Structure formats: C-alpha cells, structure tokens
Chain A
Amino acid sequence: MLEARNLRKAYGDVVAVDGLSFVALPGEIFGLIGPNGAGKTTSIRMAMNIIAPDSGEILVGGHRLTEADKAKVGYLPEERGLYRKAKVEDMLLYLASLKGMAETAARKSIGLWLERFGLGEWKARKIDELSKGMAQKVQFIGTVLHDPELVLFDEPFSGLDPLSQDALLAAMLELRARGATVLFSTHIMEHAEKICEKILLVDKGREVVAGGLAEVKSRYGRNAVQIEFDGDAAFVSGLGFVEGATAYPRWIEVELKPGADPDDLFRAVAGRLRVRRFEVVAPSLHKIFIRLVGGGSGEAENE
C-alpha cells in the first residue's frame, strides 16, 4: 500500500507538488496522470525516499520507506539508465542481487522475462548494442523480476512501439493479479484508460480530479457520440445542440449540450454523411483531461 498525506515539495519558488493526498491499494493499478511538469516524478521520487518532502508524508505499508523495504519495491525511473558496457543478463543479475535474489532464481526469472519481451537472443549482448526501446524493456524487467509488492513506474510507455506497450500493460495487469500495488505515471490518457482502477489527475502540483476511473468518467460523463464516416463532417460542430467536436480524419467525437438527445444528432447527420458507425460513449479520459487541464497544456492535445 502506498499512501500520500498532504504531500508538498517546492524547488525554490516553484511548487512542484502542492498538497497531494492519495492511497494506492494492493491489487490495484493507480494512475498518476497529468501534463509534463505536473509533479508526477517529484511525487514518485518522494515515495522512493530519493528526495524528502517539505511537508506531509508518503508512506509505504504505513511507514516511511526503509532500506529493508527496498527488496520488495520495484522502481522504474523516468530517466532511464543502465551500465552501457554491461551485458544484458549480467546487468539484470546485478540488479536482482541487489534486491536480494538468489542467483539461480534470478537467472531463471531473467530468462523467462527476456523471452517474453522477445529479447532472448540479446542476453549476452552489451546494453550499448540495444535500441532505446529494447533497453527500456530490459529496464522494465529489472524493475519487476524480483516480484515486488509495490511497483512505481514513471512514464513506463514513453518511446515504446505499440506491441511493446501492450506487453508492458499485460505485465502490469499480471502484477496486479498477484496482489501488488502498482502505480504509474503517464501523460498519455489512453494507457491510463486501459488499465487503471483509480486515477489521480494532477496539474501544477495540485489535484484536479481523483477517484475510480468509472466514477470519474460518470462524474464528468456528458453525452458523447463517436461517428465513423465518409464525407465532410465540418458542419457538425455548428449544430445547435452540440457543445464541441473533436475531428479525426475518419471519425469524430461529438460532445452534446446537457439535455440534448443523441437521436437528434443521428437524424442531423443521417442524410449528409455516409455513417459507418454511430456510438453513444462515455467521454474518453483524454477529453476529460483536456477539459479540466484546459488550454494551458497544449501538448496534451498532441499525444
């Protein structure tokens, strides 16, 4: 269990984390989401006892992280780094040994994980020779191979191809199934949406919204419709009962004004577009994120 109580940290005049409180429970995936510079990494570093909070506290299993706890914790920092001259297997064996794993068990676990991520043949190669994505997967393995009870991933998906992202997601779900407390930070909402039980959306160090994913969605859930189509859908955002629309090349996500009936929209587009799919949906986390964090973080739009 990971619990933050009124956590606060400032660097000079900049308040990085401003009174955050949250609880991540075992068997749960907790998403710490927010734009870059929101205070996610600072919070995680405080959890790992790498930096000390100015006030408040962050507790692992009810107390401040101790040296003894470290064997049960896995941490993937945002800044990735491995000894470049070390061989993949040796590097992982070293990391495992520092977590107190016996060598035979570690060797076996490393073999399984490397196979799983398609890195079996890279065992004896040097870290130097790996691509960035491969090195990141090796680092992920180093974070989880000792079967930790608490895992903290800081932006685990950045720089990975979709297949690798899915492999990581699957591994995280497995950790959850084994009863681990999993916390990860991301600014990519789709990832949070896929696997999180709970989220904490932070911006400029402050909590914006927190709670179960389903609950957050229904709280901010308004009528939203996705339409897949052929044709020109530019007119949709001009309709009277439409709050706003996000257009993609072949589909559009439309937010209706409160009280509007999706049927009206259906009738309005029926004659003018060639509709392939028309679906009433809960708003994506992405939309909620953009709405709550607002125009202040333009980069979120690009993700």
Chain B
Amino acid sequence: MNKTLRIARHEFVMTAANKAFVVITLLGPFIILALSVLPGLLAMNRAGAAESVVALVGGDEAARSALDAALIGAHGSLAEAKDEASARAAVAEGSLDAAIVLGSDWTESASILLYARTGTDVVLYATLERALGEVARAARAKASGVSPELVARLLQTPRLELRRVGGDAESGGEPSEGGEGDRYLGILLAVIAFVMLLYMTVLLYGQLIGRSVLQEKTSKTVEIMLSSVSSRELMAGKILGPGLAGLIQYGFWVVMALAGSSLLGPKLGSSLTSSVITLPNLGWLVVFFICAYFLYASLYAALGAGAEDEQHLSQLAWPMLIFLMLPLMLINFFVMSPDSTVSIVLSFFPLTSPIVMFIRVMVSPPAWWELVICVAILVASIAGAAVLAAKVFRVGILMTGKKRKLGEILRWAAVK
C-alpha cells in the first residue's frame, strides 16, 4: 500500500468514524427532503397554515355561498363585517386576513376590491377570484338571456394531457396520474431534492477538505508529515479519504432511494417522483457527485493551504462558491427551460456543470455526446485543478503568519 493510500485510509477513518457522519448518512435524505420539499408542499397545500378568515361586505346570497364553499375547501372561513370601514380596520389590525367589498351591481364591474394585510397569500386570492368569477359569469349570462350551462361549456378550456416521451424519462406514453400541475410539481420537487443533496454534499465535503488541510497547518503537523511523504501525496490522500467516505454515503442513499421508491411508490398511489428516481438518474447523481467533489475538493485544498484561519478560508472560498450556488438559485429556470442557451452553456462550464447537467438529465435528457463532452471537460478540469492545487498547496502549506489575498495565493502555482 503506498503512502497516498495510507493517508487516504487515515483520513477516511477520521471522516467516517464521526458521529456527524453517521447521522448525516442515515438521516441525510430525510433532512434534504424536509429542507427542500416541505416548504413547497406547505405553500401549495396550505395544510398546517393558520385558518384564513375572510370577511364579505355587501354582495348577494350567491356570492356569499360561493365564497363560503370555496373557503371551506381552502382551509378558511367566511366572517361577517358590518361595513367597509370596520372590515378594513379589522384587516389592518390582523383579526381578518382579507376583506372583500362588493357593490350592488358587482357582477357587472370589471374589478372587485380586496383588502389584505400581507398581499402575498396568492393561493388564497386566486381561490376567491375563481369563486366570485363563476358567480359573476353565471349572473351575466342570466342577464343576457343565455343559459349558464352554455356559457360554462363555451368557456371550458381543454385540459393539457401530458405524456413524456423520449430519453430516460419515457413514461410509456401513458397519461400520468394526477393533473399536469401535479406532475410538474412532482418533477420539480424531486429535482430540487436531488440538487440540494448534490449541492450540500459537495459544499460540506469541500469545506471539510479545506478545514482539514488548514488544520494540518495550524496544528503544526505538516512538517512531520512532509518528513515522511511528499506534499503531493499528502494532498492526494487528504482528498481521496473523505471522497471515499462520501461515495459510501451516496451508495447508501442510492440504495435507500431505490428501495423507498419501489416500496413506497405504489402505496402512495401516485407516481409523482418515480419518473425521476430511476437507476440511470441515480447513476448520474453519483457520477456528478464524484466529478464535483474532486473539482471543488482540489480547489478547497489549495485554498486551505493558503489560508491562515477558518475565517480567512471562507473569505477565500466565496468567489468559488458563487458558482456552486448559482445553479441552485436558478433551479426553477433550468427545470422550466432545460434547453435554453443559458442552461446549455452552464451545463458544460465545469464549476456549474455537475448540477446543471444533472438537472437536464432529469428533465430533458441531453444527447449522449453532450454527456460525454460534459464529463470529459469535468475530468480535464479536475486534472488541471489538481495540478494547480498541488503547486499552491506545496508553497502554501508552509506559509504562516499572514493573511494573503486570493491573487497572491493563486500566483504560487507559478512558483517552480
């Protein structure tokens, strides 16, 4: 066993024989799911949110009963209000969530006045609008002497029936269960969960590497290490060890995801996520984790060697982290337009490609040669980053006593 592997083994044990590692391995997927999917679900379903109380001022019996029915369905209730001023005051002080003011001939007017305090509960407002809209349409039809049933039939929008075809995501051309809205939501939530997983692990492991290299410096062990091994072996070992721990973690998660979706999927009835949690997708998740890990770990190793303390390290790392966070911030855009120019360019740029290309794989599978080029660029970048990091590492690991600027640290790569 050569020295690099011995260091890697030691670093692996240091990483894996750690309570935090075990907890994250076991609970990681649930934590990620909770962090990424639950807020979305809560906003959509309104379950768990406080009851919305809406008051109606004026209006007729038809409007009142339509609103009442709509609010019961939307986890809310209709309250009484004497007049517009008192309703408005109640909304302002918070005892009402919203108040609707209807005039005597409101069904003919183009707009309806709604008082609300936050103005952000768009799901509730849409529900109210839909309910009143139906009443108004029916009233207008009646006034014009047209049968309301005819109006309803005329205004009926044909529903889109989504069938995904082509690529890994082929669902056999069968109409998916649930509406297309559910379907988009399902894909989006699964993609967000996966992307969060990728992002969090790369970030956590990158920081782990940076800190462990920095620790080698601050604990003064580096000279002892260098009396036994070369700086290249030391850096390689320190990157490989935790990387192996990360792979084991991913292996566990992949097995859990497959088991979970095949066991729980049918029970839950809907196939919300089953078209995303597939073996090829999970395979790509691992591939992109490995690529992103080695790329960011190499860069973090170089920065760790150049840093003076943890605070300095995070200062040095932020320009790099922007690239890691960018895909996360644009995730909605990538999911909705995976074939746009921006998506395609960022799916090849090495610092963003692991996440962006992975989103494309899940949503709109790219051609095989695109994947080959993407991985080739990543491998080449990793090789380049490793060479650069090894040079910076060699110089930086012995430098102490001064907080250096990023530019100065990067120039160490040129030291012969």
Contact = CB atoms under 8 A, between A and B. Distances in A.
Interface of A: 45, 48, 50-51, 67, 70-71, 73-75, 77, 79-85, 94-95, 97-99, 139, 142
Interface in B296-339: none
A159 to B, nearest CB: 14
A98 B228 contact: yes
B74 to A, nearest CB: 54
Contacts of B161: none
A77 B220 contact: yes
B221 to A, nearest CB: 4
Nearest to A48: B227
A95 B10 contact: no
B398 A81 contact: no
B229 A70 contact: yes
A84 B219 CA distance: 8
B79 interface: no
Given A70-B227, A81-B219, 20 more contacts: A48-B226, A48-B227, A50-B223, A51-B398, A67-B229, A70-B229, A74-B227, A75-B223, A79-B220, A81-B223, A81-B224, A82-B221, A82-B224, A83-B221, A94-B6, A95-B224, A95-B228, A98-B3, A98-B228, A139-B224
A50 B226 contact: yes
B219 A99 contact: no
Nearest to A100: B3
B217 to A, nearest CB: 9
Q: Indicate the member of B6, B219, B229 with the most A CB atoms within 10 Å.
A: B219
B193 interface: no
Nearest to A49: B226
A70 B221 contact: no
Interface string B48-65: 000000000000000000
Contact of B220 (A75, A80, A85): A80
Contacts of A67: 229-230
Interface string B1-32: 00100110010001000000000000000000
A98 B223 contact: no
B35 interface: no
A134 to B, nearest CB: 16
Contacts of A99: 228
Interface in B218-242: 219-230
B291 to A, nearest CB: 29
A301 to B, nearest CB: 29
Contacts of B7: 98
A84 B221 CA distance: 10
Contacts of B222: 81
Nearest to A82: B221
B228 A70 contact: yes
B6 A97 contact: yes
Contacts of A85: 14
Contacts of A73: 227
A240 to B, nearest CB: 53
B221 A81 contact: yes
A45 B224 CA distance: 11
A45 B7 CA distance: 22
Given A51-B398, A67-B230, A98-B229, A75 B224 contact: yes
Nearest to A142: B224
A74 B224 CA distance: 9
Contacts of B6: 94, 97-98
Contacts of A77: 220, 223-224, 227
A84 B215 CA distance: 10
A269 to B, nearest CB: 51
A74 B228 CA distance: 8
Contacts of B14: 85
A99 B223 CA distance: 14
Nearest to A75: B227
Nearest to A97: B6
B16 to A, nearest CB: 14
Contacts of B3: 98
25 contacts: A45-B223, A48-B226, A48-B227, A50-B227, A50-B398, A51-B398, A70-B227, A70-B228, A73-B227, A80-B220, A81-B219, A81-B220, A81-B223, A81-B224, A82-B221, A82-B224, A83-B219, A83-B221, A85-B14, A94-B6, A95-B228, A97-B6, A98-B229, A99-B228, A139-B224
Nearest to B237: A98
A79 B223 contact: yes
A21 to B, nearest CB: 23
A94 B6 CA distance: 8
Nearest to B219: A81
B365 to A, nearest CB: 45
B398 A82 contact: no
Nearest to B3: A98
- 9 shortest interchain CB distances as A-B pairs: A81-B220, A75-B227, A98-B228, A77-B223, A79-B220, A81-B221, A81-B219, A97-B6, A94-B10
B38 to A, nearest CB: 35
Contacts of A139: 224
Contacts of B226: 48, 50
A142 B223 CA distance: 13
Nearest to B215: A83
Interface string B104-123: 00000000000000000000
Contacts of A94: 6, 10
A65 to B, nearest CB: 9
A77 B225 CA distance: 11
